[in-house]
Amino acid sequence: MIDIPAVLDHCPRCGGQILVAVSDGLPTRADATPLTPQAELAALLDDRLTYDVQPLGLPRRPYLHHRNSWRIQAPRKWPVVGSHRCPPGPHFPRPQTKPVDLIIPIGHPIPDQPPF
Ligand SMILES: [Zn+2]
């Protein structure tokens, strides 16, 4: 299945910040804010899917992996986000902007004064 790493974008309907990705071949729009275990349970009860945000590749980019029961049961390794649902109420979408590529830094930055 084709996976495309997430980019940071704004929801065209409500203007909220969302991650747009392709996960297991399916276009995916997820909230950019990570969920606590309690918030993940609330999202699942609300019929929303949840995803692991796993950094992969070089440079590291965030890939969304659907959290099935196996992933939910295992200890958390990565931040968890829930699929996006526009909040109720009137929406005032902002003008469309270009999506932001997300690159996750790895390792320690090289110090200016090496210790040798
Ligand atoms: Zn929205």
The beta strand positions in 11-66, using DSSP E, are 17-23, 26-31, 50-56, 61-66
User: Where does the pLDDT of residue 35 fall: very low under 50, low under 70, confident under 90, or very high at 90 and above?
Assistant: very high
pLDDT at 105: 83
**Distance from the CA of 116 to the center of ligand 1, in angstroms?**
52
Residues with CB under 5 A from ligand 1 (ion): 11, 13-14, 16, 86
**Domains of the chain: which residue ranges?**
4-86
**Distance from the CA of 6 to the center of ligand 1, in angstroms?**
16
pLDDT at 95: 82
**Distance from the CA of 112 to the center of ligand 1, in angstroms?**
43
CA distances from 103 to 5, 37, 54, 85 (A): 10, 25, 12, 25
pLDDT tens digits, 36-86: 999 999 999 999 999 999 999 888 999 999 999 999 999 999 999 999 999
pTM for this entry: 0.84
% the chain with pLDDT above 70: 96
Determine the Cα–Cα distance for residues 66 and 101; give it in Å rounded to an integer: 21
pLDDT at 106: 79
**Distance from the CA of 2 to the center of ligand 1, in angstroms?**
24
